[in-house]
Amino acid sequence: MLYSRLSASLLAHADDPQRFVLALSGGLDSRVLLHLMGQFIRQHPQHQCVAVHVHHGLSPHADSWSQHCQRWAGQEGIECYVEQVTLALGSRVSVEQQAREHRYQALGKHLNTGDILLTAQHADDQLETVLLTLKRGSGPAGLAAMPERTPFADGLHLRPLLTSTRQEIEHYGLQHQLEWVEDESNQDVRYDRNFLRHQVTPLLVERWPGIRKAVARSAALCGEQEALLQELLKDKLEQAVYVDQSLLISALGSERMGKQLIRQWLGLFDVLMPSQAQLEQIWRAVVLAKSDANPQLCWNNVQIRRYQQRLYLVRQWPDIKDWQQTCELDQTCLLPQGLGALTLRAASVGKGQLRLPRGDEVVSVRFDPEAIEAKPVGRVGKRKMKKLFQEYGVPSWNRRRTPLVFYGEQLAAVAGLFVVDAFSGQDCDLEWHNDVSDVQF
């Protein structure tokens, strides 16, 4: 029964041939999925499958779990990769949330364009997820819970066991005499999902045996309603999103429409959605704030900020004012915290904007504009960097995240903005490739 469901789901969504990436924790559910995929690949050899085990390092048994996963995958003729991640214990973000985010980031690295990620969530997981979203007071988007398929990275995320129960999966594992790991944290009812799994859902299923299917239908209906709303507002969202991925306040319309557009805009960044109360604060305290205010709202290590009548989603990064890296001509300098790469490149004859550094001028990239004054090419007199950032329209939170290029101990250029007058020339260009756009001057 399980194999026929899995095979039907895979063949309905797969091209021919298809590459699958299986998320393998080593627990019962993913262990059964691995065994099923072994059968599928043997019967459909035109398809490929690899497994990825994410090593969180939270358990003293984590190393042995990785070894078990590699051994079990090998038995099925499936290559297994191990990705080790580090969680920031003690931060304001829950361990559960961090583990989930790091896990999907690690899995995403293994997906090529068009690949399908397979995870082993089932009907009981769906029931728990809906109960958790009810506890949070979520709307239709949250109550849609886990769809069978959703876009992920450059491919597709598929949950082929979503209509199967935990009991069916356990029966399969015992029937085929499979081994799996038991994570001791799964018994800790301090975690909300474990509390539901061990103390709530068994009572619900005993009283109402059909509750899993009923909840799945409700989740599917909420998903359809949310998809329809996104379809209806697609054009409005495209008009509201600026080239730098900020959101134009003037395009939000009424409060009801505006809040929905903000939610859909946030969905572009794959962040935890704000609660209803937080969304209300965003609207009242940020969107409707006075034009000269600099309002913000923080949650889950991100911020909503407003600047020049646009909303920005800002991640709360550690300070990098002390970061410094030397930079050689025509060699790429990798920048920290997803800021991309910088290259000082020799230009065609007479077409550059920077002079070559002298032999005694070490070129470096820094991020601390404090107490620096500069005179951009074509300007009269020096101004403090704070004033120049304001004139160039750089939001306050990006002023210590904009690369500063030094020749020796003197500022020569600010990436994406200007060349300092004393360092102008026709020998070089400065290229900054970042996540938003490619800037060259």
Task: Give the DSSP letter string of 196-234.
Answer: IIIIIHHHHHHH-TTHHHHHHHHHHHHHHHHHHHHHHHH
In this structure, are residues 37 and 8 in contact, taking their beta carbons and an 8 Å threshold? no
Interval 92-115: pLDDT, tens: 556 667 777 778 888 999 999 999
The model's pTM is 0.70
Residue with tokens 């646009």: 310
Tokens standing for 373? 């004054």
C-alpha closest to that of 366 among 337, 325, 316, 395: 325
Interval 185-195: pLDDT, tens: 778 888 888 99
Strand 48-55 and strand 79-84: the pairing is parallel
Q: Is 26 exposed, middle or buried (0-12, 13-18, 19+ CB in 10 A)?
A: buried
Give the phi and the psi of residue 241 in degrees, each rounded to 5. Answer: -85, 125
In this structure, are residues 126 and 147 in contact, taking their beta carbons and an 8 Å threshold? no
Taking only the tens of pLDDT, the chain with its 441 residues reads 899 999 999 999 988 889 999 999 999 999 999 999 999 999 999 999 999 999 877 777 788 999 999 999 999 999 999 998 876 665 555 666 777 777 888 899 999 999 999 999 999 999 999 999 888 777 888 888 899 999 888 899 999 999 999 999 999 999 999 999 988 777 888 888 899 999 999 999 999 999 999 999 999 999 999 899 999 999 999 999 998 899 999 999 999 999 999 999 998 887 878 888 889 999 999 999 887 777 888 887 788 999 888 999 988 888 898 999 999 998 999 999 889 999 999 888 778 899 999 989 999 999 999 989 999 998 888 999 999 999 998 988 889 999 999 999 999 999 989 999 999 999 999 999 875 544 444
What the chain holds in terms of domains, given with CATH numbers, is 2-216 (3.40.50.620), 241-315 (1.20.59.20), 324-440 (no CATH)
Neighbours of 419 (CB within 10 A): 24
Q: Is 427 exposed, middle or buried (0-12, 13-18, 19+ CB in 10 A)?
A: middle
